[in-house]
Structure formats: C-alpha cells, structure tokens
Structure 1
Amino acid sequence: MSTDLPLIVNALGALDNPNAETSLAAANALIQNSDEMTVDARAIADAHASGLTAVNVTLGYVMGDLPPYEHTLAEIAHWDRVIADHPGDLRKVVRAADITDARANDEIGVIYGFQNAVQLGDDLSRAQEFADLGVRVVQLTYNRANHLGDGSMAPENRGLTPFGREAVAALNDARVMVDLSHSGENTCLDAARTSTAPVSINHTGCRAVTDLPRNKTDEELRLVAARGGFVGIYFMPYLAPDGQARAADVVEHLAHAVRICGEDAVGIGTDGSVTTYDDLDAYRARLADHTAARAAAGVAATGEGPDTFPFVIDLRGVDQFRTLVRLLEEKGFSSTRVEKLLGLNFLGYAERIWG
C-alpha cells in the first residue's frame, strides 16, 4: 500500500499495459475492447506503485458494428475472469465498502462502467440485469446521439428522449450511477433534473476555462453538485485550447470545478491508464490513423487531432498522482481538500448511490 498517498479513486480510467502486443495490435481501433486490453503483471504492478485504490473501467458496447447487448455481456464475463485470475491484486467493486476494503488489503478495486447505454435496447429490465452482473456506472451517451439523448457532438443539443427519462428512472431503481460524461448540455441538465438520485459527470473539464464541447458549462456543473452528485476532471487534451494539455491545466480545471461545485463534489476521472507508452515516437506515428478513423466514423470530439496526445504529457506513469498532489498543495489546497479530490468525494458519492 502506498502510505504516502491518500485513497485514490479514478472515476474513469483504464487498467492496461498499452505496450503489450495485444494492446498495440488494437491501438488503431476506434476504441479498444476489454479483451484487447492487457491486464498483465506490469499493469498491475504500476497500478499498485501509483497508489491507485480503485478505477472505473470501460466495458461493454461503446461504438461500432458489434451487437451491443451480446457484446456487453461478453465483456462483463471477460472482466469477471480477469479479476478471478488475479486474486489478492484485483477486487470487483459492487458496493462502496469494497473500495475501502481494497485499500486495506492492498488491492486495486475494479468498477464496471459503461460509456454508452445503447446496450439497454428497448428493454429497461436490462438496467437491473446489468446491475446484478456488477455494473455500477452507466453513461447515457457517447459523443453522438442515441435513443436516450444527445451526445456532446450532436448539433441539435436536444435533451433526454422519453425513453431516456424512463432509462434514468430504471437506473435509479437499480442503484446504478447515471454518468453524464460525453452528453450534450440539455441532455445533462434534463438528466440531472429528472433523476431521483444524484448523478455524476465522471470525466470532463470546465467549459468556462476551455470552451470545447466535451467540457461542461458552469450551469451543468453547479446543478449536478447541488443535487449531491460528483464531477471528475480528466487528464485529456480538451483541457487546453491547443490540445496540448499539461498538469497545470488539470489543476486549473480542478480549481474552477471546486469554485463552482464546492470541494465536496469534485474528483478525478483521468480517462487513461497508469502504465504509460514506452515509445512516444511510435505512438505518435499511429495517432494520426487513430484520429482519422474516429473522425471518419463520426465519433470524434472537437479538440482531437493527429498531433494531440489523448493524455497530459507531464501527468503520466506511476508518479502521476504524486505529481498532482504536489501541484495541488503548491496551489494552496489543504491536505483535507486534496484527500477529497483524490478519492474521498467519489467514495462518498458511491455510498449515496450503491450503499
């Protein structure tokens, strides 16, 4: 256990060694499937060394031609096998106490989360089915519109559809987090007002700091926080207008989110893995193909580009959280506030939703 760090919960991240052969082979895919990601000895060792306590990993259908429901069930089963294959290192998180238990036992808690809700189909009973299988976070949309509402890149900026409202209610009943990352502004506002439970934006930035569609307006941030929800700031290029985000940008967005939401509603959702790419030049060569494929499929967001790393260049690797703690302390944040931002706020939100 990294006793030099507070409890750390990554509200959206990855547990993967991107340098492994399987991960490299899948690197040009629109989004990697769970069985193409490599949870190997290095990925686990790096997660331990970083001080990570728990991470919400993306599984299930996000985009593409795979059958959403069947693919999602297969990925849940895949992650169940991964966790079963690593006893003593990984713990499936189904309740908030599993996060604190993971820290006490020097394990990495794995939270099952979706980044789309297309896999619900037209059958709202699937919300409870997925919850029974251990899914604890469901993001309503990706960048495009779906049958629940509009994503951040949908030009109409419509709110929730009638089915979307019913889906939010079903997720509330199943005690699953309703995640509004990637959603359009009106979809986010509608969901926050419709939900009978607090909602979250697990990985985002602040539109008032950097005016890009993937970032959230102060109105969205304030409403989510006022209703007991959670906002996670990512380590992504959308934090800087030129797409070359740095650690100082992460701190600036965290500080703004705290000003708008209060220090009890904000945390981190890096949208990345602890293990870093060993060969940035080789990765840069693949990046243009990857971003071109996303643009061609209509799933890219404004701010992505062939020369834009999808991570913060000076917040990578096993020291990323230590670096962030140091920068937040230099910003004047108290140790109590830092502990809240690194993990306690997500833990408190999880207690409100999962029990």
Structure 2
Amino acid sequence: MSTPTPLIVNALGELQNPNASSETAGSLVQSSSDIRVDARTIADARASGLTAVTITLGYTLGDMEPYPHTLAEIGVWDRILQEHRADLRQVRTAGDILRAREEGRIGVVYGFQNAVAVGQDLDRVGEFARLGVRVVQLTYNQANHIGDGSMAAGNRGLTPFGRELVERLGEHHLMVDLSHSGENTCLEAARSATAPVSINHTGCRALCDLPRNKTDEELRLVAERGGFVGIYFMPFLTASGHPTADDVVEHLVHAVNVCGEDAVGIGTDGPVTAIDDLDVYRSALAEHVAERRRAGVGAAGERADTFPFVVDLRGVDQFRTLIRLLERRGWSEERIARVMGGNFVRYAERIWGN
C-alpha cells in the first residue's frame, strides 16, 4: 500500500503557468500582466499534492518605483484570489494552511523577495501586513539600504535602518526571510531578531561553495533560535550548475544534520507546471541570464546553460519523486512529513499564530 501524500508546503515557489511566449519569457522584469494563473496552473498544483505556497509579489528588481509597483501587484493577486476563490485561499495564519487543505484549496502566502518597497517609512510594514503580506525577504542579491545581498562584495551586516526594520517586522508578526542575504546580514538579523527568522530558499555552502548557499554557521544559528530553512531546487546545489534530484536529497540530509529535523523544509523557487519546450526556453534563458548580469543582479553560478530548476524534479510529480528518494534514503514517514510541510506550518504558528 502506498504511503499517503503528506501536507506539502513550498516555502518559496511560483503559482503560475510558465509557458509564456518567447517574447516575454526572457524579460528581466515580469509585469503584472504576465502573471498567468490559468486552469492548468491550478490543475497541476492540485495534481502535485501541493497544500500551500509562498509566492513572490511586489518589487524585487528593475527600474519601476518599488512602493507603487508593490501595491499594484498586491492588487493583482487579490483579484486572482477572488477570481479563483473556489480553488485558492489566501494564507494569513498558520491555521489557514490547514484550512486550505481541509477545503481542497491551495493556500497562497504573499511574500516579498526584496524589502526596498518599505523605503524609509517603517509604517509601511503595518500597511503591508494589513494587505496580507506574511513573508519579507530583506535583500535580493545586491545591497540595499537594509543590508547586503549575497553578491555584495562588502558583506556588511544590517544597516541601522535594517535593524529597525527587523524589529518592526517582528512587532507585526511577519516572517523575516534571509534568503539571498549576505552572510553577515544573515547572522546579524538572526541574532538581533526578537522572533525566529527563516531562510525560505537556499542550499548548503558546505556542499557547494556559492554565495547563494548558506554556511553551517548561518543554518545552525537560524535553527537554534527556532527558525526555518527551506532547500531549493536550483542550479546552486552543485558546482556544475546541473543538479539532479539526488543532489536535492544531499542538501536536505546535510541541512537536517546541521539544523535538526524540526527546522528544515523545501522552498523550490519554481512552479509546479513544467516548461513544455525546453529548447525554446534555452534561447530565452541565455538572454535572461545575460540581462541579469548586465543589471548587476545575477548570482555566481547562473550561466546560460544552467536551468533555474532541477530537470528531474519538475512538473506534477516533483514532490512525490522527492518523497520516494527520501524513503530510499531511510527517512521515516514522520521525518518526511515534517520536511515536506509540517515544519513550515509549525514555524508559521510561532510567527503568525493560528
């Protein structure tokens, strides 16, 4: 008899159909009109067993004004959730994730991958919280006025404003996500935060020495303080840039060895719906990577030949495939359930409540 699919929470992913036209697939900045939550998106998410996912909205990079752009994208997602209310449920508390599963809907968590939309106005934290944002990543790859990203050469810690922002995020019970942050920014935020922090999508630097991955010191500190670490399905898992599902397992095993089995989960950084034509996508990807490099927002390990996903962990079977590999590794049903979603829910309870 097959093992029942556990609750699955993707701490950072996508909920859309990536099969856009070649004209838009290579664009550095996706506009609100490019977000495609269609029937296939929802059918694939259901078929995969996905319970909930943190999506990225608002300003991450580009030339637009961060604050108005972020408000506009929150409005776009509010409309998407309203249009698909039979299938999607906004997540504001940990209990909403469990209720989404009971109702047969997919939980959607609003998250930022860059906090620059706050500007210099800390009162915007409360505004974003009221609008449903629940995860705030402090930096993208580059430096901002909060701290240094993973590709910033200075490797500063938090700026004075950054320390105030971390405190304010805690007051409003929002997750402080340290994905993409520089090492010192991550360590300082984890030490100074009054509530546990997270790294929702990363790999382990001990296995692949690239800036987007986290050192054992960072992983351990976040876990020791009650936080959460999500492992991604990204090229940074191996030096070749072409990881397999087995490499994802190795990073999960290492993270559990460092952090313990109650602090680790998954944050794939990708969609459930697979790209149909990889040959067409390759040509768009080459321009996308080159444009990111020219704009100074790319990460070490991104190349024209590296897909931003693991080829044998994509599509509707990605979670079931990972579960089978973890079973073969000797992991118990209970540990697998924790890593596939239970740990994120328990962390969310500590931050958002029920």
| TM-score computed with the length of structure 2 as normaliser | 0.98
Aligned to 1:282: 280
The alpha-carbon deviation at position 105 of structure 1 amounts to 0.8
Distance 2:20 2:155 in 1: 39
Residue-by-residue CA offset, 1:231-289 (whole Å, 9 max, x unaligned): 00000000011100110010000000000000000000000000001001111111110
Q: How does 1:314-329 map to 2 (within 5 A)?
A: 314-329=312-327
Whether 1:12 and 2:7 are equivalent positions in the alignment is no
Letter in 2 for 1:323: T
The count of aligned residue pairs is 352
Letter in 2 for 1:302: A
Could you tell me which of 121, 146, 162 is aligned with 2:144? 146
Could you tell me which of 270, 273, 277 is aligned with 1:272? 270
Aligned to 1:161: 159
Unaligned runs of 5+ in 2: none
The alpha-carbon deviation at position 125 of structure 1 amounts to 0.5
What is the DSSP-based 3-state SS (H/G/I as helix, E as strand, rest coil) of the residue aligned with 2:204? coil
The alpha-carbon deviation at position 351 of structure 1 amounts to 0.3
Residue-by-residue CA offset, 1:264-323 (whole Å, 9 max, x unaligned): 000000000000010011111111101000000000000000001110010010000000
Residue-by-residue CA offset, 1:138-174 (whole Å, 9 max, x unaligned): 0000000000000000011000000000000010011
Distance 2:323 2:14 in 1: 20
Distance 2:36 2:352 in 1: 28
Following TM superposition, the consecutive aligned residue runs of length 4 or more in structure 1 with deviations greater than 3 angstroms are: none
The alpha-carbon deviation at position 184 of structure 1 amounts to 0.1
Are 1:267 and 1:340, in contact at CA under 8 Å, matched by a contact in 2? yes
Distance 1:201 1:136 in 2: 14
Distance 2:286 2:4 in 1: 39
Aligned to 1:121: 119
The alpha-carbon deviation at position 3 of structure 1 amounts to 8.8
Distance 2:90 2:199 in 1: 22
Whether 1:130 and 2:128 are equivalent positions in the alignment is yes
What is the DSSP-based 3-state SS (H/G/I as helix, E as strand, rest coil) of the residue aligned with 1:12? coil
Q: How does 1:129-278 map to 2 (within 5 A)?
A: 129-278=127-276
The alpha-carbon deviation at position 18 of structure 1 amounts to 1.0
% identical aligned pairs: 69
The alpha-carbon deviation at position 34 of structure 1 amounts to 4.0
Letter in 2 for 1:311: F
Letter in 2 for 1:199: V
Residue-by-residue CA offset, 1:185-237 (whole Å, 9 max, x unaligned): 00000000010000000000000011100000000000000000000000000
Letter in 2 for 1:10: N
What is the DSSP-based 3-state SS (H/G/I as helix, E as strand, rest coil) of the residue aligned with 1:315? coil
Distance 2:20 2:327 in 1: 35
Aligned to 1:44: 42
What is the DSSP-based 3-state SS (H/G/I as helix, E as strand, rest coil) of the residue aligned with 1:202? strand
Are 1:35 and 1:75, in contact at CA under 8 Å, matched by a contact in 2? no
Distance 1:183 1:95 in 2: 25
Distance 1:83 1:236 in 2: 28
Say what the alpha-carbon RMSD is for the aligned residues. 1.1
Distance 1:33 1:79 in 2: 12
Distance 1:269 1:28 in 2: 23
